[in-house]
Amino acid sequence: MAAKSEMRQNKATKEWVIFAPFRGKRPHDFKPQKKQREDLPAFDKGCPFCPGNEHMLTNIVFEMAGEANKAWRTRIVPNKFPAVTPEGDGNRFQTGLYVAMPGNGRHEVLIESPQHNHQVALMSPDQAETVIETYHRRYSDLMHDDENMMILIFRNHGPRAGTSLIHPHSQLISTSIVPRYIRQREEEAERYFDEWGRCVFCDILQFETENDRRIVFENSSFVAFVPFAADVPFEIWIVPKRHQADFGQISEEEKSDLAHALLNILFRLYHKLNDPDYNYIVNTSPRYRADEPQLHWYIQIRPRLTTQAGFEIGSGISINPSLPEADADFLNNATG
């Protein structure tokens, strides 16, 4: 099978799907028992993300150096089994009844620590800031390339969240298309703006702050809360207080505040929910929308404590067994 993926548009929904058949053989080195993480070595000679194993990497895209240049603190490398590749372009072609295009884009791994068994929820604030700084630099770099219509930074933590490697890392995928799902969020935001003259996320933020029933964290730049209509138990949004559509617009102070917010929440999830598997995603505006008054970027954390079954798949409606207010209380309760 050729190492090239293809994107296809679902004729019925206009949604895009990436076909990357070669991803079938990914390395699966995670342990099903998460508690064994403590027994893992700080260095693994078979792990391409560990220092000294650079020969196992095709390339190092970016690196944040440690103090006195002693060692790197974070690193970005190409994904060895990419869903999309920089070859090709965004040109659609007709194939029979359907529209398709090359699987064009970038798929990179953001290594969050040199230490193989590092637990992200327990990292130092300093290291968390370095991770956010790494996100932001690479995001800004790639946004200089017109071909990147969307850049998604996300983290998969644990087997239920789709992790295939132990070594702590996030991922970044850029594509030359904007998915229907994100366009729909845009359209709803636009409708809201046209009706009320305000950003819907700003209004949500203001209401949540006043209402104070679902807030789990606040500092000078960010508010974190369990959304009113959370899809899954303990879903959490970290939203910048200042209106900004684009993650690229984050200030130095906000970066530091974001690192603290993220760390605080991951730390509590780790302790209160016994290190749950989770995904988090930096939801930000696609290209050309960075200055629009109705879009607002945020980080969405989704623990993987439940299973999406037939009803969810068929209806798009999630069945959430936990009330957001109860989730917030649980996370806020010192003895929870």
Contact pattern for a second copy over residues 316 through 335, marking x by CB under 8 A? xxxxxxxx--x---------
What residues have CB less than 8 Å from 58, skipping those under 6 apart? 77, 78, 80
296 is catalytic: no
Nearest one of 185, 220, 147 to 300, comparing CA atoms: 185
Q: How large is the greatest C-alpha to C-alpha distance in the chain, in angstroms?
A: 61
Total interface residues for a second copy by CB under 8 A:
78
Subset of residues 104 to 143 that bind a second copy, contact rule: CB under 8 A: none
The residue from 155, 167, 268, 289 that contacts a second copy (CB under 8 A) is: 155
Q: Which span sits near a second copy by CB under 8 A: 51-59, 116-124, 133-141, 155-163?
A: 155-163
Query: Which CB atom, from 24 or from 197, has the smaller least distance to a second copy?
Result: 24
The residue from 162, 198, 215, 218 that contacts a second copy (CB under 8 A) is: 162
The reply to whether 302 sits near a second copy by the rule CB under 8 A is: yes
Subset of residues 219 to 278 that bind a second copy, contact rule: CB under 8 A: 227-231
Instruction: Output the 3-class SS for 24-63.
Output: HHCCCCCCCCHHHHHHCCCCCCCCCCCCCCHHHCCCCCEE
Subset of residues 60 to 99 that bind a second copy, contact rule: CB under 8 A: 83, 96-98
The secondary structure of 141-176 as a DSSP string is HHHTSTT-SEEEEEEEESGGGT---SS-EEEEEEES
CA distances from 291 to 135, 176, 299 (A): 20, 19, 19
**What is the token pair recorded at 268?**
């509590």
Q: What angle, rounded to 10 degrees, do the helices at 125-143 and 252-272 form? A: 120
Contact pattern for a second copy over residues 175 through 214, marking x by CB under 8 A? x---xxxx-xx--xx--x-------xx-xx--x---x---
Minimum Å distance from CB 253 to a second copy? 26
Instruction: State the catalytic residue, choosing from 107, 116, 167, 169.
Output: 169
Subset of residues 5 to 44 that bind a second copy, contact rule: CB under 8 A: 8-24
Contact 182, 286 (CB under 8 A): yes
The residue from 47, 76, 121, 173 that contacts a second copy (CB under 8 A) is: 173
Residues with active-site annotation? 169
